[in-house]
Amino acid sequence: MPTFLVLVTAAFLPLCNSLPRSAVTVTSGRMVRPQLCASAGALEQPAVPEPELVAAAASGGGATVTSTVINLSKNIVGAGVLALAAGVAGFSSSPVAIVPALALLFFLGAASGYSFSLIARVGDEMGTETYKDTWAKIFGSRLSIIPALTIAFKTYVGGLSYSIILGDSFASIASLVGAPALLRSSNVWICLLSAFVLLPLSLMRDLSSLAIGSVIGTAGTLYTALFIWLRCLDGSYAAGGAYHGAIAAAAQPTFAAATAARPLLNPSIFVLVSMLATTFLAHYNAPKYFNELQKPADGSSKQAAFNKVCAMAFGLAALLCGSIMAGGYLTFGGASQGLILNNYATSDPLAFVARLGISASILFSYPLNFVGLREGVLGILGMRGRMGEPAVHVISSIVLLCVMNGLALKLKNLGLVVAFGGALLGSALVYVFPALMFIFATKEKEAALVAKGESLPVGRKREMIANMGLVVLGVFLAAVGCIMSLKNAGGH
C-alpha cells in the first residue's frame, strides 16, 4: 500500500504543480470555493464546507432577499434527502406513518431555521463574521477545536454519503446498459471514480469551473422529486404494475398496519429525527449569509429581513424534502431502502435519468465538499500555512480520499450514515452549539447591563431559558439517535 501511494503521488505532483495557485474566483454570481477563517490564534477551518455555497455580494451592497432565499434553500437540500423514506420505514410500514413523519420534518425544519437565525444574531452582536469566530469569542480560541472537529467530521460524512450514492448509481446505470458483470459492482465504480475522476477533481486548485454543478444539482433534485411522485401515482411499482416484477423481492412495496407489538409511534422514530438534523444542516454558513445580505432600503432592521430569509428558505427546503420523503415512502413503504433510488428498477428509463442527474450533481459537488474536509483537517493539524505546498496538497488529498472512499467499500447503508451523522453532528451544530452561544452571549450582555444599573429585557431572559431547553433537547436527540441508528443497523 505505501508503494502504491508513492507511485500515485509521483504521478500527480506534476499535475498539481501545473495548476493555478490563485484563489477560486466568483463565477456567475456564485462563490465556489470554501473560504478560510483568519482569526489569529484560533484553529483554522473552512467556514463553508458544503457543496452549495452562498452567492457573492452584488456590486451594490449585498445580496437581495430573493437571491439569498434561493441560494440558502439550495445549500440546505443535499444528498441526504434520498435517505429520508428509509427513516420512515425504520419505525413503521403503515401508510399513516407519513403523517407524523411530515409533522416532525416541518417542526425540526422550523427549529433549524430558528437556530440558523440565532447564530447570525449572536455573531452580529459579537462583531464576528464566521461560526468559528463567534464560538471563539464567546468560549475562547482553545475551545474552537470543538466546532472545528465537528465540521471536519461532518464534511467526512458528507463525502462518504456521496461515494455510496455514486457507487450504487453507476452500478445501476451499468446494469441498464448491459455492461459486463464486473462493472455492475458498486465497489468497482467507487475505485474507478476515486482514481480517475474524484481525485483529479479534488486536486484542482481552481474550482470555478464547477459552478455549473449548482444548476445541475438543483435540476437533478427537482427532476427526482417529480419522478418519484409520478411513479407513486401511476402505480408502476405496486403489485401488478409495470415494474413490480422487475425489482428484487426485498425492494417491492411493503405496507402493514401498526400493531400492538409495533405501534405507529415507537423509539425507532428517533432514527428519522437524526436524519432530519442533517437534512437542515447549513448552520456554519449563517454569519456569511447574514453579512452578505443587503440592508433593507426602507431602513428597517437587517435582522428582520434575515429572519424572513430563514423562514422562506427553510420552508422551501422542507417542502422539497418532504415531497421526496413522502413520495418514496408511499411508493415502497417498509421496503424503502437507505438510498431510495435503489428501489427503482434498472430497466425504468425515468429512474435511469434520475440516477444520472443525481450522479452528475454529486460529481460536481464532491470536490467542493472535499476541499472543506482537507483544509479543515490540515488546519486542525496545524498545517494551515503549508496548504499551498504541492507535496502536502497531493499527499493529504490521497490519504483523505482513501480513508473516506475506503469506508464506502464496506459501508453501504446510506440511511445509517445519514442517521448516525445527524444524531452525532447535526444535533450539535443545529441545536446545542447555537443555543450555548446564545446563552453565554446573553449572560455577558446581562452582566454588562447590571454594571450600568440596567436589567436584561424579560423577552431575552425567556428566550435564554428556551435555549437551555434546546441544549437539553439536542443532547437527548444525539444520544437516543445514535443508539437507535446503530440498533436498527444491527437488526438488518
| pLDDT score of 311 | 97
Closest of 293, 286, 251 to residue 64, by C-alpha? 293
| pLDDT score of 85 | 97
pLDDT of residue 195 exceeding 60: yes
| pLDDT score of 332 | 98
pLDDT digits (tens, 9 = 90+) for 400-424: 999 999 989 988 776 677 677 767 7
Q: Which of 59-68, 382-391, 458-467 has the lowest mean pLDDT?
A: 59-68
CA–CA separation, 177 vs 173, rounded Å?
6
With contact defined as beta carbons under 8 Å apart, do 80 and 411 qualify? no
Q: Which of 58-67, 72-81, 435-444 has the lowest mean pLDDT?
A: 58-67
Q: Using CB atoms within 10 A of its CB, is residue 2 exposed (0-12), middle (13-18) or buried (19+)? A: exposed
pLDDT of residue 14 exceeding 50: no
| pLDDT score of 61 | 53
Q: Which residues contact 190 (CB under 8 A, 6 or more apart)?
A: 163, 166, 167, 405, 408, 409
CA–CA separation, 448 vs 187, rounded Å?
59
| pLDDT score of 5 | 36
Q: Cell for 299? A: 431602513
With contact defined as beta carbons under 8 Å apart, do 120 and 311 qualify? no
| pLDDT score of 1 | 40
pLDDT of residue 251 exceeding 60: yes
Confidence of residue 436 (pLDDT cuts 50, 70, 90): very high
Residues 355-360, mean pLDDT to the nearest whole number:
89
Residues 227-231, mean pLDDT to the nearest whole number:
97
Confidence of residue 490 (pLDDT cuts 50, 70, 90): low
Helix 212-234 / helix 65-76 crossing angle, nearest 10 deg? 70
Residues 428-450, mean pLDDT to the nearest whole number:
93
> Which letter, b or e, does each residue of 126-150 get, where b requires 16 or more Cβ atoms within 10 Å of its Cβ?
bebbbbbbbbbbbbebeebbbbbbb
Confidence of residue 336 (pLDDT cuts 50, 70, 90): very high
Q: Tell me the three state secondary structure of residue 31.
A: strand
Confidence of residue 154 (pLDDT cuts 50, 70, 90): confident
Percent of the chain scored above 90 by pLDDT?
50
- The alpha carbon of residue 381 and the mean position of all alpha carbons in its chain are separated, in whole angstroms, by 24
pLDDT of residue 321 exceeding 50: yes
Q: Which residues contact 217 (CB under 8 A, 6 or more apart)?
A: 51, 52, 74, 361, 364, 365
pLDDT of residue 55 exceeding 60: no
- Rounded to the nearest integer, the mean pLDDT of the chain is 83
Residue type, 209: S
Cα→Cα distances 154→167, 362, 373, 460, 472, Å? 20, 16, 8, 31, 21
pLDDT of residue 213 exceeding 80: no
| pLDDT score of 255 | 96
| pLDDT score of 24 | 33
Confidence of residue 54 (pLDDT cuts 50, 70, 90): very low
Per domain, the residue ranges of the chain are 26-31+41-490
CATH T-level assignment (fold) for domain 26-31+41-490: Sodium/glucose cotransporter (1.20.1730)
Q: Tell me the three state secondary structure of residue 454.
A: coil
> Which letter, b or e, does each residue of 254-287 get, where b requires 16 or more Cβ atoms within 10 Å of its Cβ?
ebeebeeeeeeeeebbbbbbbbbbbbbbbbbbbb
3-state secondary structure 339-402: CHHHHCCCCCHHHHHHHHHHHHHHHHHHHHHHHHHHHHHHHHCCCHHHCCCHHHHHHHHHHHHH
| pLDDT score of 25 | 31
CA–CA separation, 275 vs 474, rounded Å?
13
CA–CA separation, 399 vs 392, rounded Å?
10
Where helices occur in 143-268 by DSSP H, the ranges are: 145-176, 186-193, 199-203, 212-234
Confidence of residue 171 (pLDDT cuts 50, 70, 90): very high
Confidence of residue 30 (pLDDT cuts 50, 70, 90): very low
Instruction: Give the residue, 177 or 238, on which the prediction is more confident.
Output: 238
CA–CA separation, 336 vs 250, rounded Å?
9
Cα→Cα distances 263→85, 98, 235, 280, Å? 18, 14, 27, 27
Q: Cell for 203? A: 486536486
pTM of the predicted model as reported, rounded to 2 decimal places: 0.80
pLDDT of residue 144 exceeding 90: no
Residues 260-282, mean pLDDT to the nearest whole number:
87
With contact defined as beta carbons under 8 Å apart, do 325 and 88 qualify? yes
Residue type, 122: V
Residues 436-456, mean pLDDT to the nearest whole number:
94
Q: Residue 367's CB: how many other CB atoms inside 10 A?
A: 26
Cα→Cα distances 432→150, 152, 154, 195, Å? 12, 17, 15, 38
Torsion 303-308-313-318 (CA) sign: positive
Closest of 381, 359, 406, 338 to residue 194, by C-alpha? 406
Instruction: End-to-end CA distance of the chain: give it in Å, rounded.
Output: 33
Instruction: Give the residue, 421 or 123, on which the prediction is more confident.
Output: 123
CA–CA separation, 469 vs 348, rounded Å?
48
| pLDDT score of 362 | 87
Q: Which of 2-16, 29-43, 119-133, 295-309 has the lowest mean pLDDT?
A: 29-43
